[in-house]
Amino acid sequence: MIKEKIKLTNGLVIPAIGFGTYNPDCREEEEQVAIIRQAIECGYRYFDTASRYGTERALGRAIRESGIDRSEFIVATKVWIDEMGQEETRNAFFRSMERADIGYFDYYLIHWPRRAENDTDWKARDLETYRAMEQLVRQGYISGIGLSNFLPHHLDSILCECEIRPVMDQLEMHPGYLQTTVNSYCRKNDILVQAWSPLGRGRVLAHPYIMRRAEKYQKTPAQVCLRFLIQKGIMPIVKASSRERMLQNLEVFDFTLNDEEMSIIGCMPQTGWSGEHPDFAIPKAKSHSGELSQ
């Protein structure tokens, strides 16, 4: 069980590490259920999914079959870019509820702020979507609202108009791709940054400096990267399919990187970027059974 916790601005407390169910290999439901069940056995209690991932059903099954009370879990899902708008978002949320079948979601996130680079209506659509999510909070369907892949100029249009402030923003973030501008913005506005792809899709693990820190602390390169993010106040959303890796990703609270190490890792040149960007390289709105994106 993860003992380290993070307190959000809505007063709720969540684990310092979450488990992601993004399904890039398009695994079958039974395999996904088995992976998530194993993550639950390893001690993960915060789970991240999305309508786009095609894993809401598997996640719900794994939680129901775990024998652990639903209240022990914190589950976040996301509305995809082709589901946004006032009524569309509400309908998408209840489809997600039906697929997961776990009674409620804790957090609901807007997955991406824009549909395409030439999307001129994104501000109005984001706000309509957000207002629908605020209504879901008022009606007791969710505890809080989050965002994903929102940069400061996307966040501004929400923060200027919202009645319920977002508690988190999920971004690609890892050594070699820290997005310092949005990280500082979120910290200033009391928005928790969650990191998707916290290991840079594995591309930063062979960096010589990361490897030397791993040797020094008798840890894996992945553990060094996760520890770095945690010390920066960033919540990693990890993925793994083996029990060994799942457990390793939790064993990051028994060592501390010093100030010099934090500075050097924080100043690494760009490494491991996915190639996706909320203004310039936006995932296409394909059918939910098609190619997946974070």
Backbone phi and psi for residue 20, each to the nearest 5 degrees, phi listed first = -95, 145
- DSSP 8-state symbol, 72: G
DSSP classification of residue 282: P
Catalytic, out of 22, 44, 46, 53: 53
Contacts of 205 (CB under 8 A, 6+ apart): 199, 211, 221, 222, 225
Burial track 121-137 (b if 16+ CB lie within 10 A, e otherwise): ebbebbbbbbbbbbebb
Distance CA 128, CA 110 (A): 11
Q: Is the CB of residue 290 less than 8 Å from the CB of residue 229?
A: no
Q: Does residue 53 have an active-site annotation?
A: yes
CA distance to 20, 31, 53, 59, 88, per residue, from 291 (Å) = 17, 18, 9, 19, 22
Q: Which residues of 174-197 are buried (b: 16+ CB within 10 A; e: fewer)?
A: bbbbbbeebbebbeeeebbbbbbb
Cβ neighbours of residue 162 closer than 8 Å, sequence gap 6 or more? 130, 134
Residue with tokens 């400061």: 152
- What DSSP element (H or E) covers 20? strand 18-20
Instruction: Count CB neighbours of 139 within 10 A.
Output: 9
**Can you read off the two tokens belonging to residue 55?**
């894993």
Which residues does the annotation mark as catalytic? 53
